[in-house]
Structure 1
Amino acid sequence: MPRKTTRSPKGKPPAAYLDEALLSRLKLSPEVAWYLTERGIPLPDCPPKVITPSPGEAPGAVFDPGRVDRVLKSFHLLRHTQGKWAGKPLDPDPWQVAYVLAPVFGWVRHDAEAGGYVRVVRRLYVDVPRRNGKTTLAGGIAVYLLAADGEPGAQVYAAATSEKQARFTFDPIRQIAERAPALKGNVKAFTKRITHPASGSYFTVVSSVAEAMHGANVHGGIIDELHVHRGPDLVETIETGTGSRRQPLVVIITTADDGRQESIYDRRRQYIEQLARGALTDPDSYGVVWGADTEDDPFAEETLRKANPGYGVSPSAAYLRGAAAEARQSPADLAKYLRLHLGIRTKQSTRYIRLEDWDANAGIVDEQLLRGREAYGGLDLASTSDLCALSWLFPEDDGEGLAAIWRFWVPEAALRDLDKRTAGAASRWVREGWLTATPGNVVDYDWIREQIRRDLDAFDVRSLGYDPWNASQLTNDLASERAPLVKVRQGFITMSPAMKALQRLVLAGTPEVPRLRHGGNPVARWCVDNLAVAMDPAGNVKPDKARAGEKIDGVSSLATAMSEVLARPPVRKSVYEDGDFEAI
């Protein structure tokens, strides 16, 4: 698909003349690469491990090089305050321009309500190992939002979890503002606040929701070291306080955590990775993550360069060699080294089904052609106040694969929260018919019962598996109507063969010959991308809702249906049945 033509507001087209293979390897858009080349900034050879789509892919987006020029000029007027660079201009490194400042500040779109062009990006996430200039980058952005962004009465906040952390966050930014000759007489720095009298703007640190709500008209937010925040309340309060601003920007700059599940860090990191994989779409959010892979040699120079975009400048090669030497000598220091200097979440689990493998099996599923076909179902009722799922699996005529369809339900009252967790996709799923919103604040089981009745009439249903732990009046009613219900417990013994069979099918499938043909159902795709599994000492696996960052009900129902497929009378050996399951 050809790339759309983009123009700056001034009408000058960026010349995207660089080699496409190089741009792909460096993960740069043609416009940003053009900007770097035209301004004499070297192309950085340190692409992020994870990067969300270019903001230029947003509808109506255009690249304005003058806006980036303004940001870099603002940085140049500031001064380093520590170390060997103290007193020198705060010029960003090429990687900071290429992967942060140019994409965030250069891409704009016209907003009739705002009366002109505004930034595409409103939420920025930068995840990078220690000593890669996070503090100075955050400080430069904070001062720009305060005094140079053209926003009258700008309120810029930094979120801290305590008074102590507030000082770590605020003091470096205050020093940057105080020691810049160009800012003398233009900004005033106080103990807990920096002001810009000419625009009536201020920057301050907040360490509680009450403090953040006091202004409630946020133009900019700086969240440093997201992983130290115990909960989401303060961060979310700052983000939701931006609603009345033309082009607000909330910046998260952090190092990796140790892999804890369901923390605010974990949820934001997972969200950025989902955007990068294409599981979700959110042009307002842009994120980059640097880090090594678990299979990399943690002490090799190549690995250190890969994880640290500022390698050789900040952090220095000598500093990282010293940290590596300490980690070699002390197992206790190794985990800290991997997290702080290589960006590896040391407790992170391996993805059980990769999204690219799942997508390769999409195929086309025509429900009308499935009428009268042999079918096996799986019902996941989960919580009545959240997502419920029904899966149907249909053995293919060749005996080598399966076709899958889903039904999903959510209470109308829970749809807004689900929208927040899916970048607004949930409402689109409802409009497109992939998800049914039932009236009220709990799922109306009558809707599910009626759909199952229709499916029993349409398909040759051999069995419908359900979790007896979640048995309800619904299953009692269906049983009284002679629906072929089967209790399927969700432990390792039952779920492991089903999960391994699903994984085997997905890995065996190709776009030309899908083995688990699912039609690209977007709700199911989201559940697959959220999937986490638990494993016992014998290597058995099962879906793990407690460790999943988000809902996996679509996979749970699919695994339940798969257990029924495996339990059917054998026809002939197929790709999803092998010696592992002969005893089932």
Structure 2
Amino acid sequence: MACKRHLDDLEAAKKKTSKYFFDAGAADDVCAFIELLPHTKGKWAKTKELIVLQPWQKFIFCVLFGWKIRKNERRRFRKAYIAVPRKNGKSILAAGIALYMFAADGEFGAEVYSGATTEKQAWEVFRPAKQMIERTPELADAIGAEVWAKMLLTPADGSKFEPVIGKPGDGSSPSCAIVDEYHEHDTSELVDTMETGMGARDQPLLVEITTAGYNIAGPCYDQEQDAKKVLEGALEQDELFAIIYTVDEEDAWDDPKALRKANPNMGISVDQDFLLSQQRQAVQSAAKQTRFKTKHLNIWCSAKTAWMNMIEWTKCADPTLRREQFIGDKNWKALDLASRSDICADVDCFIREIEGKTHYYLFGKYALPETAIESATKFKNSYTKWVIEGFLDQHEGAEIDFSIVRDLVLADMDVFAPQEVVFDPWRAAQLAQELMKEGAVAVEFRQTVQNMSLPMKELESAVKAGRLHHDGNPVLTWMMSNVVAKLDAKDNIYPRKEKQENKIDGVVAAIMAVGRAMLAEPDQSDDWISDILIA
């Protein structure tokens, strides 16, 4: 898609009225500059070889620096999102871009930063760039650069290149910022600060270079979704360059062909036999699959031992779905209540029979107390974003206001007439009594292994078979990605979370609703019904 976008832009640029044009000379210049720099790692550094760009790397440099705005001949792209698996030469991309912007871009008083959340990560880009210029004294002499311990400096115009941890200080005006391994960032604070500081620059460049990660509630995952929409033509952001090396949804992750598709530098900087070995180990050990998929196929997998295949879950999303479309359909409402730090979840599960198969349709409402949002560390930005977008309700004070929950449930009862309101007696006894007084059929569903296992397996099976449908609510998607399946000696499974901050309340409510819906289906086994009633 990135290549097609470039070709389409070239075709459009033939018209004199087009906004952009491709400057082949500028594209050549940046590649020529990079190929005068030495390798800093591996066998090539040992023999003091110069960098030889591979075709995929040339494509990135040429497109990023070659496209110009017709009316002022400034660069078109102000931001780049580059996602590529580990060991595929990211340091050459990152350090090369940074050095070019520092030494050859023609920006007076250039400020180039290698930004990260830790000092170690910030140096992953700065160190090879520093070594490149140390081993190329002709370049240092030509631009009058001085190499300091933690900075490259050109005294003549004050240009500098340095690593930054956190965010640059007040008064900084980045002309280029490299954010390496963006998936490790819990918030977008560093990127936001860099972008806002670039306002005084004519043609600044912010580059995010990363592999996939586990935190789909983080800023990197959001950026990747936007990048995909741009490449698909669903979102117009002419100033964003995006390229993502990964496998397609229909590809078998355990097929060696997948390695070639996802790893553009396979056989060059990343050894083919090494990748094949990692793939074999992942096939043999379920515990290693998620890490392999994330680091070597560039697939976002969320929890390191995640239960749900998030690619399949995402395929079940239909943002056009509305609860109002299901008035009159059988449905079950499940409540997983929380008072302070967990998310209060109210999930509706509608069912329809299609070609003899049961299809589930999930819709949810979620709430957190104001204090919990303000005191959150890792996911505060995500909570705030979801509140603004209407996906998460914020209750005043330090606790969930159960009267608000009750009123919402009663309103739904009037419109959708759920078969049952399903609840875990923990925290919900009083609310259940109030609902029963209003005519609700309130049913306890204790969150035991015996009760949760079969509906959890049914939910997973429905996702794989395309019988599960949801409206794409990002809160539920995030919680689904946090679920880890605990397996007991009898092959029963139970939803768990790896860390306290990884909420799964909406998924628990969905499992409860599916469990009660299964009891109403004639094809369910009597043995399981007995197990539920006994539990």
- Alignment of 1:101 onto 2:52: no
- Map of 2:114 onto structure 1: 158
Q: State how many pairs are aligned.
A: 496
- Alignment of 1:72 onto 2:31: yes
- Map of 1:19 onto structure 2: none
For 1:245, the aligned partner's letter is M
- Map of 1:137 onto structure 2: 93
Deviations 1:205-234 (A, max 9, x none): 24x54x85476544444455679x7x858x
Shift of 1:386: 6.7
Secondary structure (helix, strand or coil) at the match of 1:408 reads: strand
- Alignment of 1:564 onto 2:516: yes
- Alignment of 1:534 onto 2:485: yes
Change in CA separation of 1:475 and 1:222 when aligned onto 2, cut-off 3 Å: farther
For 1:309, the aligned partner's letter is P
- Map of 1:8 onto structure 2: none
Deviations 1:420-473 (A, max 9, x none): 449967644x2xxx6555566765444322211111222333321123334386
- Map of 2:495 onto structure 1: 543
Shift of 1:555: 2.9
Q: Normalising by structure 1, what TM-score?
A: 0.65
What is the rounded CA distance, in whole Å, between the counterparts of 1:363 and 1:339 in structure 2?
27
What is the rounded CA distance, in whole Å, between the counterparts of 1:506 and 1:323 in structure 2?
29
- Map of 2:128 onto structure 1: 172
Stretch moving more, 414-423 or 375-384: 414-423
CA contact 2:360–2:468 (8 Å) conserved in 1: yes
- Alignment of 1:310 onto 2:240: no
- Map of 1:522 onto structure 2: 473
For 1:491, the aligned partner's letter is T
CA contact 2:386–2:392 (8 Å) conserved in 1: no
What is the rounded CA distance, in whole Å, between the counterparts of 1:304 and 1:97 in structure 2?
21
CA contact 1:531–1:543 (8 Å) conserved in 2: no
Note the 1:35-50 alignment, pairs <5 A.
none
Shift of 1:564: 1.9
For 2:90, the aligned partner's letter is K
Secondary structure (helix, strand or coil) at the match of 1:544 reads: strand
> Which stretches in structure 1 are left out of the alignment for 5+ residues?
1-26, 38-59, 510-514
- Map of 1:463 onto structure 2: 420
Shift of 1:403: 5.5
Change in CA separation of 1:426 and 1:363 when aligned onto 2, cut-off 3 Å: closer
Change in CA separation of 1:427 and 1:349 when aligned onto 2, cut-off 3 Å: same
For 1:75, the aligned partner's letter is I
Stretch moving more, 171-180 or 268-277: 268-277
Stretch moving more, 461-470 or 398-407: 398-407
- Alignment of 1:190 onto 2:148: yes
Among candidates 266, 283, 305, match of residue 349 of structure 1: 305
- Map of 1:54 onto structure 2: none
Q: Normalising by structure 2, what TM-score?
A: 0.70
- Alignment of 1:244 onto 2:202: no
CA contact 1:129–1:290 (8 Å) conserved in 2: no
CA contact 1:126–1:289 (8 Å) conserved in 2: yes
Deviations 1:42-76 (A, max 9, x none): xxxxxxxxxxxxxxxxxx99674556445334424
Shift of 1:143: 1.0
Note the 1:413-562 alignment, pairs <5 A.
414=373, 420-421=381-382, 427-428=388-389, 430=390, 436=393, 443-471=400-428, 474-475=431-432, 477-478=434-435, 481=438, 483-509=440-466, 515-518=467-470, 520-523=471-474, 526-527=477-478, 530=481, 532-537=483-488, 538-546=490-498, 552-562=504-514
- Map of 2:365 onto structure 1: 408
Secondary structure (helix, strand or coil) at the match of 2:419 reads: strand
What is the rounded CA distance, in whole Å, between the counterparts of 1:406 and 1:497 in structure 2?
21
Secondary structure (helix, strand or coil) at the match of 1:406 reads: strand
CA contact 1:412–1:438 (8 Å) conserved in 2: yes
Change in CA separation of 1:363 and 1:310 when aligned onto 2, cut-off 3 Å: closer
Secondary structure (helix, strand or coil) at the match of 1:483 reads: coil
Change in CA separation of 1:225 and 1:561 when aligned onto 2, cut-off 3 Å: closer
What is the rounded CA distance, in whole Å, between the counterparts of 1:381 and 1:63 in structure 2?
57
For 1:204, the aligned partner's letter is E
CA contact 2:168–2:193 (8 Å) conserved in 1: no
Deviations 1:61-113 (A, max 9, x none): 96745564453344245444565476665453212233x435655678899xx
Shift of 1:174: 1.5
Change in CA separation of 1:110 and 1:459 when aligned onto 2, cut-off 3 Å: farther
> Which stretches in structure 2 are left out of the alignment for 5+ residues?
12-17
Change in CA separation of 1:565 and 1:115 when aligned onto 2, cut-off 3 Å: farther
Secondary structure (helix, strand or coil) at the match of 2:418 reads: strand
Change in CA separation of 1:362 and 1:203 when aligned onto 2, cut-off 3 Å: closer
Deviations 1:469-503 (A, max 9, x none): 34386556435545333232333222222122223
- Alignment of 1:200 onto 2:161: no
CA contact 1:76–1:90 (8 Å) conserved in 2: yes
What is the rounded CA distance, in whole Å, between the counterparts of 2:381 and 2:263 in structure 1?
32
Change in CA separation of 1:450 and 1:161 when aligned onto 2, cut-off 3 Å: closer
- Map of 1:30 onto structure 2: 4
- Map of 1:394 onto structure 2: 350
Secondary structure (helix, strand or coil) at the match of 1:310 reads: coil
CA contact 1:389–1:406 (8 Å) conserved in 2: no
What is the rounded CA distance, in whole Å, between the counterparts of 1:152 and 1:383 in structure 2?
56
For 1:195, the aligned partner's letter is L
Shift of 1:150: 5.4
Shift of 1:535: 2.7
Change in CA separation of 1:381 and 1:193 when aligned onto 2, cut-off 3 Å: same
Change in CA separation of 1:378 and 1:115 when aligned onto 2, cut-off 3 Å: farther
